[in-house]
Structure 1
Amino acid sequence: MEQWLGRLCGCGQSIDGAHQNVRFTLPDPVLELPAAEATPGTWMSHGTARESVMMQVPGAGPFVRVLLPIQLDQGHTLTYGVWLAVSPDDLQRTFATWWEPEYADLRLNGLLANSIHPWDLLYTPATATVRNPNETPYLTTSPDPSLTTVLTTTWPHEKTLR
């Protein structure tokens, strides 16, 4: 697993420091569409996909941005801003509560919509909950053993942040 984080996002950014954030611009199913987020009928919560926290794309579905925290030793953290594929009803419920006090109780079930290497977690079921009402929901649990391992293991800092 040496140096696997340097290959994860393909963003070309140096990953160093105690707390790093990597934000996926689009869900993988949207990237597979010929026009991606420019697909006619696409709805996004903000002006661009990078800024958006919710989107619905014809032919791909509805998505909510969530955080996937990776605990590293030495007290470091790597947090991925990923997309969770959700039901249309959950997207509507999320939109209705995002800026309301009820947001603190938001719980979303869906499928991870970004491939996070080396784990091959695309389409893995996951649950996201709100830890802090001023932050995006966090992936907190999964019935999938691989994602559970990613969420609960402390990964070696020296091998991953080079």
Structure 2
Amino acid sequence: MAGKTCSCGRAVDGANPNVRFVLPDPVLELPEREGTPGTWMSHGTARESVMMQVPGAGPFVRVLLPIQLDRGHTLTYGVWLAVSPDDLQRTFAVWWEPEYADLRLDGLLANAIHPWGLLYTPVTATVRDPEETPYLTGSPDPLLARVLTETWVHDEVVPQ
């Protein structure tokens, strides 16, 4: 797989690729993106941040979207979840605390995922491991529910 890149412009290599979206798609649509006046990020840059709130786009929390591939591989996307302002505050309050292990977030997927799209699809994220970012674990949307539970053909799913 050497030399392949994803729609986020990052190289995708190896049997278990990881793809990290730097920004939520709604933020990409803003003229100043994360530089929009009034933007708050949990860390110094969007790439490092796990939470952000951007005027004109909303509040977001970084989550992981694991996709099971054939040959026993997994493609993991680091995506953004659009959440309510109250959920962002609640998430910030527990992120570095023991209560983080019980965090559950309901929101909308804030990145389009190749090849399905899925932008603005409702989804639930939960913490599997207190040392990791929350994982997308369920959705009332039939397609996203399939993406989360079925095994997909590697060459049809991994960005080319």
Q: Which whole-Å deviations, capped at 9, do the CAs of 1:43-80 have from their partners, x for residues lacking one?
A: 00000000000000000000000000010111111100
Amino acid at match of 1:89: D
**Normalised TM-score (structure 1):** 0.91
CA displacement at 1:157 relative to structure 2:
2.6
Q: CA deviation at 1:158?
A: 4.7
Superposed displacement of residue 10, structure 1: 4.1
Question: Which 5+ residue runs of structure 2 have no aligned equivalent?
Answer: none
Partner residue of 2:134 out of 131, 137, 154:
137
RMSD: 1.7
Q: How far off is 1:159 after superposition?
A: 4.6
Matched, 1:11 2:9: yes
Give the percent of matched residue pairs that are identical in Structure 1 and Structure 2.
78
One-letter amino acid of the structure 2 residue matched with residue 100 of structure 1? E
What SS class does the counterpart of residue 19 from structure 1 fall into?
Answer: coil
The number of residue pairs the alignment matches comes to 157
Amino acid at match of 1:78: L
3-state DSSP class of the match of 2:17?
Answer: strand
Task: Return structure 1 stretches of 4+ with deviation > 3 angstroms.
Answer: 158-162
Which of the numbers 57, 61, 73 marks the counterpart of 1:60? 57
Secondary structure of 2:81's aligned partner: strand
Q: Distance in 2 between matches of 1:142 and 1:25?
A: 23
Report the counterpart of residue 108 of structure 2 in structure 1. Answer: 111
Residue 8 (structure 1) shift: 4.5
One of 5, 22, 25 as aligned partner of 2:22: 25
